[in-house]
Amino acid sequence: MINIDTRPKVVLTDAIHPKAHAILADAATVVVLDASLDATAAARVLRNEITEAQGLIVRRQLPADLFDGPNALRGIVRHGVGLDFIPVDSATRHGLPVANTPEVNANAVAEYAITAMLESARRFRFFDHQVRQGNWNERKSAASTTFELRGRAIGIVGFGAIGKRIAEIAANGFGMGVAAHTRSPSRLPAGVPALTLDDLFARSDFIVLACPLTEQTRGMVNSSVLSHAKPGLVLINVARGAVINETDLIQALEAGQLAGAALDVFATQPLPMDSRLRNHPRVLLTPHLAGTTQDAERAMGLMAVETQLALLRGERPENVVNRECYAVKDIQ
C-alpha cells in the first residue's frame, strides 16, 4: 500500500531551534535550504521548492521578485522582527500574508546593547590583553580611562519593544538618563523626552540605534548628524547596517568626533575583508548576533512555527504585518 503524505510543505531558509523544528515536523513536511549553497544557488532552490510549498519561514534576504513566480504559498513568516528581508509589498499584491515574531528577542538585543556600553565604560578587552601581556601596572590607568554608567545619558533611536527594554534596563538598572528619537513621540513613557536626532546626538553619552530600516532611516546617521556628537559619544547599532553611512562613520571616528562604536550589523554582510572598520581600534564588531541567544532562538522559533501553522489553517494571526493582503486575496 502506498502512503501519500498529504501534509502541507513548509520551507525554512535556515535552520530553527530543534524544539520548534520538531513541532513543525509533526504537522508538515519540512524542507531546510542547504546552508552550504551560495546566494545564487539558494535562490534557485528556493524558487523551485515554493512551487509546491504552502509555507515559508524566512531568516535571510529573499529575492525581490520571488512571489512573482509560480508558488503555492499561503503565508510567509519572518523568524525575527525586521521585515527588510522580505518583499512585503510584493507579497501584499499577491494576497500573501506576512508575519513576524515581534518582541520575543527584545530582551536579548537590549542586553547586547547594555553589554556594549559596559565594555566601553570598563574596557574589559583592553585590560584582559594587558594582563595576558604581563602589564599589571596598566591597572593604574583605569582611574582616568574608565567610568560608570550611572548618571550617564543614553539616547535611543527607535522606541519599539527593543528600545523600550533598553530604556527600562538603563534607567531602572543603572540610573541612566534616557531620551529618544522616534516617529511616535506620543507613545514615549513619562520621563523619556522626545528629541530631534541632532539634539539626541548632542546630549547623549551613548546612542543606541534600534529602529527599522526604511527609506526614511536609510543613511540617517551621516556626517551632518555625527557632527553634533557630544564629546566621548559611543554609537551602538543593533538596527540595520544601512541606517549608518559607514564612510561618514569612519571619518567621524578618525576625526575624534566619536569615542567609539559597537556594530552588530553592516551595510554589506558579511563585513567585507577590506572594510576600514575591521582595523579600527575603537570599534567593536560582532556578526549580527545581538538577538541570538539560546532563549531568544527558542522563543522566536516557537512563535514562527505557531504563526506558520495558523496561516496554513487559514487563520489571521495578530502578528500579520500586511493585513491589507486579505482584501487583495478576497478579490482574487
Q: For the chain, give percent helix, strand, coil, nearest 5.
A: 40, 15, 45
The per-residue DSSP string of 76-122 comes to EEESSS--TTS-HHHHHHTT--EE---STTHHHHHHHHHHHHHHHHH
Q: How far apart are CA 300 and CA 270, in angstroms?
A: 23
- Look at residue 328 in the predicted model and tell me its pLDDT: 81
Q: What are phi and psi of 203, to 5 degrees?
A: -105, -10
- Predicted confidence band at 330 (pLDDT cuts at 50, 70, 90)? low
Burial of residue 263 (CB within 10 Å: 0-12, 13-18, 19+) is buried
Name the pTM for this structure: 0.89
Q: How far apart are CA 156 and CA 162, in angstroms?
A: 10
- Look at residue 6 in the predicted model and tell me its pLDDT: 84
Mean pLDDT across the stretch 129-135? 97
Sequence-ordered alpha helix ranges (H) in the chain: 18-27, 39-49, 88-93, 106-122, 124-132, 142-145, 161-168, 174, 197-203, 223-226, 246-254, 294-312, 325-331
Q: How far apart are CA 120 and CA 108, in angstroms?
A: 19
Q: How far apart are CA 261 and CA 285, in angstroms?
A: 9
> What's the distance, Cα to Cα, between the start and end of the chain in Å?
39
- Predicted confidence band at 4 (pLDDT cuts at 50, 70, 90)? low
pLDDT tens column, 168-226: 999 999 999 999 999 999 999 999 999 999 999 999 999 999 999 999 999 999 999 99
**Is pLDDT at 1 greater than 60 in this prediction?**
no
- Look at residue 332 in the predicted model and tell me its pLDDT: 58
| Structural domains of the chain, with CATH | 9-102+294-331 (3.40.50.720), 106-285 (3.40.50.720)
Mean pLDDT across the stretch 120-129? 96
Q: How far apart are CA 243 and CA 251, in angstroms?
A: 16
Cβ atoms 152, 176 nearer than 8 A? yes
- 82 grid coordinates: 525586521
- Look at residue 239 in the predicted model and tell me its pLDDT: 97
pLDDT tens column, 22-50: 999 999 999 999 999 999 999 999 999 99
Q: How far apart are CA 277 and CA 58, in angstroms?
A: 29
CA angle 247, 225, 172 (to 5 degrees): 110
- Predicted confidence band at 11 (pLDDT cuts at 50, 70, 90)? very high
Q: What are phi and psi of 300, to 5 degrees?
A: -65, -40
Q: How far apart are CA 233 and CA 18, in angstroms?
A: 41
Computed over every residue of the chain, the mean pLDDT equals 96
Mean pLDDT across the stretch 81-109? 95
**Is pLDDT at 146 greater than 80 in this prediction?**
yes
